[in-house]
Structure 1
Amino acid sequence: MRLVAMENLRAFLHQTRTIAVLGAHPNPAKAAFYVPEYLARKGYTVLPVNPAYAGQVLWGQPVVSKLTDLAVPLDIVEVFRRSEALPDHLEEILAVRPKLVWLQSGIANEAFAEALQQAGIQVVQNRCLMVVHRQLMG
């Protein structure tokens, strides 16, 4: 499987405006809260997705139940879901057609990533978007 090169990620993060967070969480101690919060502070529009918290507000945006509830084009879908749960989200991700799907640290699924890449969607696996952003963007 081909990986997204770091220099390509830097350019991509400069152009990115909208990030959907699949598995967003309201607990500030969880990465599914503080990573998206960091990105929101950096100026990205961060859209929380989690059916358990639908209707709440995180990062100034209402939490929705599923990606297809979002009415805007998505640059990145950042995923905070267990690796084995990823196939359950494949159809939904393909429906919204983000430019990139980012699987956070500890999350990887080769078959899932391959299916996305076959559909023309780039994938980053097992990397923290906040850490990479800090490395590339300062």
Structure 2
Amino acid sequence: MSFQNPDDESIRTLLKKVKNIAVLGLSPKPDRPSYFVAKAMQGFGFSIIPVRPAIAEVLGQKAYASLRDVTGSIDLVDVFRAAEYLDAIVDDCIALQLPAIWIQEGIVNEAAAERARAAGMTVVMDRCIYKDYVALCS
């Protein structure tokens, strides 16, 4: 893989300045990784913004059908969607001028990640935000 993630210090700095995390693909099912990670991050004090069509709320927070529907500010988009959806997700992030995208562990789309970075976004790919937060910030 030619894509390089930011170094640990840059990731630590990012996680310390983020407040509002939009979680794309956040499942309402407690046994799903997206639910576990979002709930843990919420427990660490982050504001979680669920983004998933056809549900009203997750983790006590109003859910939105798409990033473009979110009414509040977004500091970071945490993606739990398959790699083939990343191009459209990055398009939305760029259009909304969002500062950072975190593409969860096991999801890789180098072209989309490089396009997001070229648009000025901080990009972390194929890493777990929960694991990195625990390792670098707690």
Shift of residue 124, structure 1, vs aligned partner: 0.7
Normalised TM-score (structure 1): 0.92
Q: Secondary structure at the match of 2:54?
A: helix
Q: Counterpart of 2:15 in structure 1: which amino acid?
A: L
Matched with 2:13 is: 11
Checking the alignment, whether the CA contact within 8 Å between 1:74 and 1:97 is kept in structure 2 is no
Secondary structure class of the residue paired with 1:32: helix
Aligned counterpart for 1:50 among listed residues 40, 46, 52: 52
2:93 aligned residue: 93
Task: Note the alpha carbon deviations across 1:35-75, whole angstroms, 9 max, x for none.
Answer: 0010001111000001132x2x2122111100011122211
Which residue of structure 2 aligns with residue 126 of structure 1?
126
Amino acid at match of 1:42: F
In the aligned structure 2, how far is the partner of 1:15 from the partner of 1:71? 20
Aligned residue runs from structure 1 range 1-138, under 5 A: 1-53=3-55, 55=56, 57-138=57-138
Deviates further, 86-95 or 9-18: 86-95
Deviates more, 1:66-75 or 1:26-35: 66-75
TM-score when scaled to structure 2? 0.92
Q: State the identity %.
A: 32
Q: Structure 1 stretches of 5 or more lacking a match?
A: none
Instruction: Determine the C-alpha separation between the residues in 1 that align with 2:22 and 2:120.
Output: 18
The alignment of Structure 1 onto Structure 2 pairs a total of residues equal to 136
State the Cα RMSD in Å: 1.2
Deviation at 1:118, TM superposition (A): 1.0
Runs of 4+ with deviation above 3 angstroms: none
